[in-house]
Amino acid sequence: MSFATRILLGANLNHDVLRARAVRLFEYQAKDLFKAYGIPIPKSIKADDLSAVREAFSKLNHPVALKTQVLAGGRGKAGGISIVDDRVEAQKEAQRIFVLSIGGEKPSAILVEEAYPHDSEMYLSVTLDRGDRAFVTIAAMSGGIEVESMSGKVIRKIPLDGIDENFASEVASLLALKGDQAGQFAAILLSLERLAREKECELAEINPLAVGKDGTLMALDAKVIIDDNALFRHPEFAKLHPEDEFEGEASRQGFAFVRLGGDIAVVGNGAGLVLSTLDLVGDAGGSPACFLDLGGGAQQDRIEAALRLVNRLPGVDRILINIYGGITRTTDVAAGITAVLGEGPVKPVYARVSGAEEEEARKLLEGTPVKLFSSAPDAVAAVVQGP
Amino acid sequence: MILPKKGDPVIVQNITGKYGRLHTKLMLEYGTNIAAGATPGKGGQDVEGIPVFNSVSEAAGKTGAKISVLFVPAEFLQSAGEEALEAGIKLLVVITEHVPIRDTLKLIQLAQSKGATMIGPNCPGLIVPSQQVKLGIMPASSFAPGKVALFSRSGTLMYEITGQLTGAGFGQTVALGMGGDPINGTTPIECLDFAEKMDETKAVVVVGEIGGDAEERLARHIQKSGYKKPVVAYIAGRHAPKEKKMGHAGAIIYGDYGTADSKIRALTAAGVKVAMTPAEVPTLLMQSPV
């Protein structure tokens, strides 16, 4: 697999929405950061509705690009970007884009941006290379969607305390940039690296970095993903995204939670165990509705909260619980299930409870409608088959 | 890395926190020699009869400990890790979850410059059953002494698979959780090289998951180095969606990068037997010349 495929974080790869825990900024948010760090961007105005688009159109030079603000990749191909030159056309296109869902995601706004006529495009990013356990910069003389196929990429490891002018100039010369353009490029790389380091980004990407008719470099798109574990140092990014009701509740409870769209809710303790349970369900022909990791050492109240959450999740009609008891006490799990059963109707529960105090846990669940199993494959076979 | 031996003195950092207290008790019950705790401002207290010091250097000076287990909150983890490494700690076991990537990278760099090893972050720790040494949070009941070395990115899957191994008569020389983050203090390659040098280890089990390319790199290493000991692997996440963090910060697929299929293909090509379920791991081990 090519290096760029390995580190490329989003260009047209998947239409899923990254929303729950990864802090990926919308283009207009990323461009605000670019502006603050001195990276050149075209003049633009974010518009939340049609009248704001009209107002922005009247304030900017024409033509303008109307760009849907979604996190999903491939928005251009999906019709989310339109270049317009007159007011009526702008109105018509904005109307269309405001209701255009991309990969199930509705636009959060339209960015109205002055078009930037240019001759060629470049690619530039600062990103984490997991395999080499280092941040790297990647630069190429051609921009566009398919970064993995770009020829003549330059990849350079970035020291943890940042880069200097020599480093940036060297990358520019490796790209065979000369004179003023090499200087512009080096300045942009220095700014992008400083932004990525100071704001603790997993990715800061300019694609494309356009070379204008007069040779001026301009960042036409901006992609920034913040390391969500570093948010305590960057609270300004913590509340940037709307989350759905269930994701919001799961994150307040401290669960790792991903909605998947099937009919079997999958709950367990430990990310790897739940992941492996999804595989068992998938192999048996079932379709998981969600991934819910209770976390280590979950106590009765957390089991209850998880069960209540998945019980009212749309689309769920069976619940699979896979617990390997250790620090999580299986008796707490059993007591939690029993408590929720006592509150009202609960979708059929299939539980595999194994490990310390297993026998006591089984006794607690005797006489309840919960179907109990001692092995995960048995529980999965039963839940996939259904009642 | 040097494996801890019975009686080696161990420090617990943030021993006075909820998890520090709980797991100090459980580690002591298993037989680990927790010699001291360290929490800034809590010097003079004791936890489970273990003296608490204000600093790691004081705790290490009093006990001679070269091992520390960290239950320090993520915000303070980097400085706590630096303090330990500066105080001469050679084995740093970081249980803490949600550590920023750049903090982990800085600690790895410092550990390397000091000739120290970092396990984690976001890991269950390691256990050496024959020495009654448990440095971490794994439930002791799953583990037994034996000849298999197990390395896992996931905690609970490590317990689950070890439980299956123990049930099938395969005890462990060591079981080590590498951690669920995108960047780990120890890589699978380092773990396998370490297992190769352990005479008592006759076979190796690697538990991987989606995200990154550590397993692909491991497969290339096994092939290139002509790895001698039989290796069985299990990879979780064959049915995981793309671009979603599946519980672990490191368990995320981007495009074709980090898929379970890619890892399974690479490992299989390197001669590693890959189990499709946790329960299949002992079955595949039985077919290996252990």
Render pLDDT for B46-85 as a digit per residue (tens, 0 to 9): 999 999 999 999 999 999 999 999 999 999 999 999 999 9
Judge: domain A245-385, CATH 3.40.50.261: yes
* CA nearest to B156 within chain A: A270
**β-pair type (A201-212, A223-226):** antiparallel
In the sheet with A288-293, reading across from the earlier edge strand, the strands are A256-259, A288-293, A264-268, A318-325, A349-355, A371-373
* AA letter at A84: V
- Domain ranges across chain A: 43-115, 118-234, 245-385
- The total of other beta-carbon atoms located within 10 Å of residue A213's CB is 9
Interchain contact, A16 vs B262, CB within 8 Å? no
Interchain contact, B156 vs A273, CB within 8 Å? yes
Paired strand residues for B96: none
Average pLDDT for chain A:
89
3-state SS class at A111: strand
Please tell me which of the candidates B22, B183, B255 has its beta carbon nearest to residue A130: B183
| φ, ψ dihedrals at B252, nearest 5° | -145, 135
According to CATH, what is the number of the domain A118-234?
Answer: 3.30.470.20
> What is the least distance, in Å, from the CA of A260 to any CA of chain B?
8
Is B98 one of the catalytic residues? Answer: no
CB-CB neighbors (< 8 A) of A281 in chain B = 239
- The total of other beta-carbon atoms located within 10 Å of residue A132's CB is 14
User: Taking the CA of residue B252 as centre, how many other CA atoms within 13 Å lie in the half-sphere pointing to its CB?
Assistant: 26
Please tell me which of the candidates B101, B241, B277 has its beta carbon nearest to residue A202: B101
pLDDT for the residue numbered A295: 83
Residue with the bigger pLDDT between A254 and B66: it is: B66
Please tell me which of the candidates A1, A9, A283 has its beta carbon nearest to residue B262: A1
- The total of other beta-carbon atoms located within 10 Å of residue B115's CB is 8
Residue with the bigger pLDDT between A117 and A105: it is: A117
Calculate the alpha carbon distances from B64 to A26, B88, B137 in Å. Answer: 52, 9, 23
Q: Could you give the CA distance from residue B22 to residue B17 in angstroms, rounded to a whole number?
A: 9
Contact A166, B248 (CB under 8 A): no
Residue with the bigger pLDDT between B236 and B1: it is: B236
Q: Is A340 on the interface with B (CB under 8 A)?
A: no
CB-CB neighbors (< 8 A) of A228 in chain B = 249
Q: Catalytic pick from A123, A202, A247, A304?
A: A123
> What is the least distance, in Å, from the CA of A148 to any CA of chain B?
11
If pLDDT is split at 50, 70 and 90, which confidence band does B254 have?
A: confident
Q: Could you give the CA distance from residue B240 to residue A288 in angstroms, rounded to a whole number?
A: 10
User: Taking the CA of residue B36 as centre, how many other CA atoms within 13 Å lie in the half-sphere pointing to its CB?
Assistant: 23
pLDDT for the residue numbered B165: 97
Predicted confidence (pLDDT) at residue A8 exceeds the cutoff of 60: no
| pLDDT tens for each residue of A319-346 | 999 998 877 888 999 999 999 999 999 9
Q: Catalytic pick from A93, A105, A202, A205?
A: A205
Q: Could you give the CA distance from residue A183 to residue A173 in angstroms, rounded to a whole number?
A: 10
Of B143, B172, B153, B179, residue with least CA distance to B235: B153
Please tell me which of the candidates A22, A269, A282 has its beta carbon nearest to residue B238: A282
Domains and CATH numbers, chain B: 10-119 (3.40.50.720), 138-286 (3.40.50.261)
| pLDDT tens for each residue of A172-196 | 999 999 999 999 999 999 999 999 9
Look up residue B206 and give its two tokens: 């690697």
Of A286, A17, A334, A140, residue with least CA distance to B241: A17
Predicted confidence (pLDDT) at residue A15 exceeds the cutoff of 50: no
What CATH class has A43-115? alpha beta
pLDDT for the residue numbered A20: 37
For residues B147-162, average pLDDT: 96
Listed range (A36-40, A228-232, A376-380) with the worst mean pLDDT:
A228-232
Predicted confidence (pLDDT) at residue B138 exceeds the cutoff of 70: yes
Residue carrying structure tokens 């192999």: A283
Q: Could you give the CA distance from residue B30 to residue B128 in angstroms, rounded to a whole number?
A: 11
Q: Catalytic pick from B98, B221, B239, B248?
A: B248
